[in-house]
Structure 1
Amino acid sequence: MERVPRGHHGGAPGKLVAAAVAFFAPDPQVAEGCAPEDYWEDPVEVWPECRGALGLFVALETQWNAAIGIGGGKRLGLRYEAVYPLLDRATEGDREEWDSLFGEIRHMEQAVLRIPGKAL
């Protein structure tokens, strides 16, 4: 993963959250005779300063705590025991970068948890 210089929040947090939500958003309801590709979704631009945090967040897509029941499943949050080693490896001991990336990942995590109707 390329190292990207970042400011306090790595650029506009709205872009970072929009990209995370777009990645985890539920598939659109597909009408009979149509394919998911037939539906146009607004593309989400990922700024260069957001790519590092988004790349780490996407790499964690299989590391969610979940509650599974009769009605389906629900995400409860990321497994932080999987997040910490990934951050350690990505930041190579840079504590300020570690803190910044961790904050960005937590911000995206909260946005994904607020997606309505997102089943596992």
Structure 2
Amino acid sequence: MPRRAGRPLRRRAGRDRHPLRPRHLPGPAGKLRACAAALHEPPITEAEAREAGFELEDYDTEELEIWPENVQAVQMFCRIGTRWVHASGGMGAVITGVRWEAMYPLIDRLNLPPGDWEDLLGALEVMEQAALPVIRAAAAGKHK
């Protein structure tokens, strides 16, 4: 297994890593997807731990390392904040994606060459697609 490099991101115990990776990005498979999911996973609650027969202290905290080529994408993804599209329907509001018109100015301020701009956008799109199911499951109270 290759040596892991980069900055650690705290990740909750017992979560799966996503095996897919976009073809245009270098590095290990699934790192951006795992990072996006970890950023939006709700923490394990004390009630959930006790229901499973454990205490919160029994859970290990796994660190998910961010590779240097992904740091910029992760930092930008963390800046999304409230820039999500909320579609309302009969069952309440559902997050459908990132408000890209609000993100483009932030990306443009980085003054990246066109190829790097496209790579960053692609990485953010990958992270968006990985985060959406986690966000929706947490909103529905179905997190693991």
TM range (shorter): 0.7 to 0.9
Following superposition, the deviation at residue 56 of structure 1 comes to 0.3
Following superposition, the deviation at residue 53 of structure 1 comes to 0.4
On the 8 A contact 2:84/2:95 being kept in 1, the answer is yes
Which residue in 1 is equivalent to 2:40? Answer: 24
Distance between the aligned counterparts of 2:69 and 2:48, measured in 1?
Answer: 40
Could you say what secondary structure the match of 1:44 adopts? Answer: strand
1:82 aligns with 2:98: no
Computing the radius of gyration over CA atoms, which structure comes out larger, 1 or 2?
2
Distance between the aligned counterparts of 1:69 and 1:40, measured in 2?
Answer: 38
Write out per-residue CA displacement over residues 69-88 of structure 1, whole angstroms, 9 at most, x where no aligned residue: 68564321000111111111
| Structure with more of its chain in strand, by fraction | 2
Write out per-residue CA displacement over residues 54-107 of structure 1, whole angstroms, 9 at most, x where no aligned residue: 1001101221112356856432100011111111112x1511111000000000
- Unaligned 5+ segments in structure 1 are 1-7
Alignment of 1:47-58 (within 5 A): 47-58=67-78
Which residue in 1 is equivalent to 2:114? Answer: 95
Which has the bigger relative contact order, CA under 8 A and spacing at least 6?
1
Could you say what secondary structure the match of 2:65 adopts? Answer: coil
Q: How many residues align?
A: 112
Distance between the aligned counterparts of 1:48 and 1:93, measured in 2?
Answer: 16
1:105 aligns with 2:121: no
TM-score by length of 2: 0.65
Tell me the C-alpha RMSD between the 2 structures.
Answer: 2.8
On the 8 A contact 2:84/2:96 being kept in 1, the answer is yes
Distance between the aligned counterparts of 1:33 and 1:14, measured in 2?
Answer: 27
Distance between the aligned counterparts of 1:27 and 1:119, measured in 2?
Answer: 13
1:60 aligns with 2:80: yes
Distance between the aligned counterparts of 1:99 and 1:20, measured in 2?
Answer: 19
